[in-house]
Amino acid sequence: IGKLRRLSILKVDQNKLIQLADSIGDCESLTELVLTENQLQSLPKSIGKLKKLNNLNADRNKLTSLPKEIGGCCNLNVFSVRDNRLSRIPSEISQATELHVLDVAGNRLTYLPLSLTTLKLKALWLSDNQSQPLLTFQTDTDPETGEKILTCVLLPQMPSEPGCQENLPRCGALESLVNEMSDEAWNERAVNRVSAIRFLEDEKDEEDNEMRTLLRRATPHPGELKNMKKTVENLRNDLNAAKGLDSNKNEVNNAIDRVTTSV
């Protein structure tokens, strides 16, 4: 693959790759590399030779470490290694001076390198439920090595339950929202599914039992929610317009009354 010198985008997500060829570093024109949902345990050192790379996504693999050569990706803007098994981030990552978004959520990090403070990060994701793109960090000292480090309320990250990650269904719903999946891809059967919850009480007549039933419906597709929102907004605008007409009519009628009274 290293002979593909003009290759600019390589997406090999959702396969069973256990390693990436070292010759990938010879693909000098690569700007986007997507390795999501494979079984990679490491990235080759040659990845640091990809000077034009601006998007590297290796989410949901089995990475236990990152090569320090990653800092050689001098044009890297977005680097995502969410849901892996990383225990540390190499300090050399600060050499990727164009890095703006770093996603390391769902790993086993105990701290972050102090060198991250030299980057102009716009977002640093450490947790799935992180509410803000950037957090407040404090400097600390690693008791084992004496190294100056960064820490915050979300560190250290605790490893997930054994086997939990493998058994989780893919976040299709979330990815659909992000990618604005078309309505045709939505499962109509799921949308129309209705389930009933009935309360255990003394036997009552059929009509009363019907009144005591709660119906649960599937959450509408995001596209449907947008249409609902537009419909509501249109109704609201029509209502406001109607109110405006009524108000104008009242003013006209009052003016006529005043003129009549004057005459």
Please determine, for residue 200, whether its predicted confidence score (pLDDT) is greater than 70: no
- Residue percentage of the chain with pLDDT more than 90: 52
pLDDT digits (tens, 9 = 90+) for 47-60: 999 999 999 999 99
**Are the beta carbons of 119 and 94 closer than 8 angstroms?**
yes
pLDDT at res. 27:
97
Q: What is the mean pLDDT of residues 210-230?
A: 71
Q: What is the mean pLDDT of residues 137-156?
A: 90
Please determine, for residue 172, whether its predicted confidence score (pLDDT) is greater than 50: no
Average pLDDT, the chain: 81
Please determine, for residue 169, whether its predicted confidence score (pLDDT) is greater than 90: no
pLDDT digits (tens, 9 = 90+) for 240-251: 887 777 676 677
- Residue percentage of the chain with pLDDT more than 70: 70
Domain limits of the chain? 9-151
The token duo for 174 is: 């979330």
pLDDT at res. 195:
55
Question: Looking at domain 9-151, which of 3.80.10.10, 3.40.50.80, 3.40.50.10470, 3.30.365.10 is its CATH number?
Answer: 3.80.10.10
pTM for the structure as a whole: 0.61
